[in-house]
């Protein structure tokens, strides 16, 4: 087990203290451990994984939209693509929502 033998005094305001306590509690760790994890990583592991998932979803959606655009540009358009376009719009709305939730989580809002 790692030995922590250095002490750092950190001054924060009441709002920041409450955010720190809340985030540490959500992760099930002490405030000190939460800060150590933040220092070790730009984003916490669950947030990194969430960003990877959003990135994959955006790439897949982009591929789908490119295929639809190719068909339309080739002069072949069928109204069956209307459902695909509607699904893509819904996926974009959902991804935007997920992204904003993650952004707020990282910012501590």
Query: Tokens 């109204």 appear where?
Result: 79
Please write the tens of the pLDDT for every residue from 27-83. 898 999 888 888 876 656 677 777 778 888 888 888 888 887 787 788 776 677 778
Regarding whether 57 and 108 lie in a shared domain, the answer is yes
Regarding whether 94 and 75 lie in a shared domain, the answer is yes
Regarding whether 7 and 54 lie in a shared domain, the answer is no
The token pair at 23 is: 């985030």
CB 50 within 8 A of CB 56: no
CB 28 within 8 A of CB 11: no
Regarding whether 33 and 72 lie in a shared domain, the answer is no
DSSP, collapsed to helix, strand or coil, labels residue 109 as coil
By residue range, what is the domain housing residue 17? Answer: 1-40
Q: What is the mean pLDDT of residues 88-105?
A: 81
CB 106 within 8 A of CB 47: yes
Regarding whether 83 and 57 lie in a shared domain, the answer is yes
Overall domain count for the chain:
2
Contacts of 24 (CB under 8 A, 6+ apart): 30, 31, 33, 34
pTM of the model: 0.45
Regarding whether 103 and 92 lie in a shared domain, the answer is yes
Regarding whether 98 and 62 lie in a shared domain, the answer is yes
């Amino acid at each position: 087990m790692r030995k922590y033998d250095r002490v750092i005094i950190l001054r924060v305001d009441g709002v920041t203290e409450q955010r720190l306590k809340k985030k540490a509690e959500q992760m099930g760790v002490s405030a000190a451990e939460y800060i150590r994890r933040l220092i070790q990583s730009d984003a916490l592991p669950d947030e990194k994984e969430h960003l990877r998932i959003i990135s994959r979803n955006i790439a897949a959606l982009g591929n789908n939209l490119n295929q639809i655009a190719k068909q339309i540009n080739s002069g072949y358009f069928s109204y069956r693509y209307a459902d695909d376009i509607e699904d893509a719009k819904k996926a974009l709305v959902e991804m935007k929502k997920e992204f904003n939730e993650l952004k707020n989580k990282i910012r501590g809002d």
